[in-house]
Structures are given as C-alpha cells and as structure tokens.
Amino acid sequence: MKTGLYLLMLAAAIPAVGKPKKPTGQISDPAAFARVRSYCVDASDLPGNEAYEVNGFIKDQSKPGSLLTRIPWKLCPDCREASPDAVIKLQFPRMNVTGVLLGQPPRPEDVDRNPYRIKAILMVLEAESSKVLYKNQADPLDVGTVDDQGSGGDPPALQRRNAMYGAFWALTQDVRRAENAQKQ
C-alpha cells in the first residue's frame, strides 16, 4: 500500500518538475526580450532622492556575487554614453494599506504608523523605440520585519530598496525562463 502511494506521489510530481514555470512579469515581446544582451538603468525621470537611491542600489548590487551579476546581460553604467539594447526604468507608487471597518472607529492598536507601502514597478524598454518589452512589480518586505532587525533607517527608503530588490530578482528569474523557453 505504501509503495503504491509513493509511486502515485512520484508520478504526480514528475510532470510538475519538467514543466517550465511561467514568468513572474509580463513579457510583451518574447523575441525582442530574448535578443537583449546589454542594458542600463535610467533614473533620470525620478525625483532626486529616488534617483539617488536607485543609483546607489545599482552600484551596490552590481558588485561581484550580487543580484545584478545574475542577470546574463551586460550592465552599461551610463545610458547616454553607451548604446545598450534595453533601458530599465523604475517607478515607486505608494499604496494606501490602511483598512477600517465601515461604521466603526479604528482601534489604536490597528492604526499603522506608516499607512503607505511603496512598491517598485520595473520596466524593460527597447532602447531604440522605447517599446515596453517586459514589466513587473514588487512589494517591499514588511516594514515591521525591517524595524525588528534594528535597521533604524528611513522606512520609505527601505521600502524602495526592498521593493527594487524584489523587482530585479523577478527580472533575473524571468530572463532565465525566457532563455530556457527559446532553447526548447
């Protein structure tokens, strides 16, 4: 009986293992996305503090063994001086996460010190046409978790950094998935 159950579980798991995972983000043009070999990150449309944070993140995460080195594309340090295949742009919209039951006043323990969360939207644009090839979004880690670690930093800046990490992590995974899909 146990052997039959194990064989049934193994048979159910085998198709799931061999089946390629779907991308986390939206790939609008898979062929053009697969042709990307170089990219830059353009923060020129962002407010000064956000551009500074993005540029610091790129500098920090492009060091050997860091997140951006896992993307198999060449990172160009400056979009204006290089001619990359793609340009990555980021946006950081704020989401109101305060929830209150209608007709009832909020309890003091339910009032969030920071009722907003900042998510990251990452877009990969074709450099020549500015056509969106790929788009994803990532929420930040829970701010309470970051505070519990004793970071002592500015919560919005930490939220942007954590959300950026999640967005670039998803991009890394989706680039690999797209490459594997092209090979099959």
Mean pLDDT, residues 100-109 taken together: 62
| All structural domains of the chain | 24-178 (3.30.160)
Q: How far apart are CA 121 and CA 131, in angstroms?
A: 16
Residue 112 burial (C-beta neighbours within 10 Å; 0-12, 13-18, 19+) = middle
Is the predicted pLDDT of residue 105 greater than 80, yes or no? no
| Residue 5, both tokens | 């159950």
| Per-residue confidence (pLDDT) for residue 118, from 0 to 100 | 85
- Where does the chain have alpha helices with state H? 2-18, 30-35, 48-61, 143-148, 155-183
Between these two residues, 158 and 22, which has the higher pLDDT value? 158
Mean pLDDT, residues 39-66 taken together: 94
pTM metric for this prediction: 0.74
* CA-CA-CA-CA torsion sign (24, 160, 116, 144): positive
Mean pLDDT, residues 48-56 taken together: 94
| Per-residue confidence (pLDDT) for residue 123, from 0 to 100 | 96
Mean pLDDT, residues 51-78 taken together: 94
| Per-residue confidence (pLDDT) for residue 147, from 0 to 100 | 41
| Per-residue confidence (pLDDT) for residue 60, from 0 to 100 | 95
* pLDDT (tens digit per residue) in 121-176: 999 999 989 999 999 999 876 545 444 443 333 478 888 999 999 999 999 999 98
Residues sharing a CB contact under 8 Å with residue 50, sequence separation 6 or more, in sequence order: 43, 92, 160
Average pLDDT, the chain: 79
| Per-residue confidence (pLDDT) for residue 72, from 0 to 100 | 93
| Per-residue confidence (pLDDT) for residue 6, from 0 to 100 | 46
Chain mean position to CA 25: 9
| Per-residue confidence (pLDDT) for residue 11, from 0 to 100 | 52
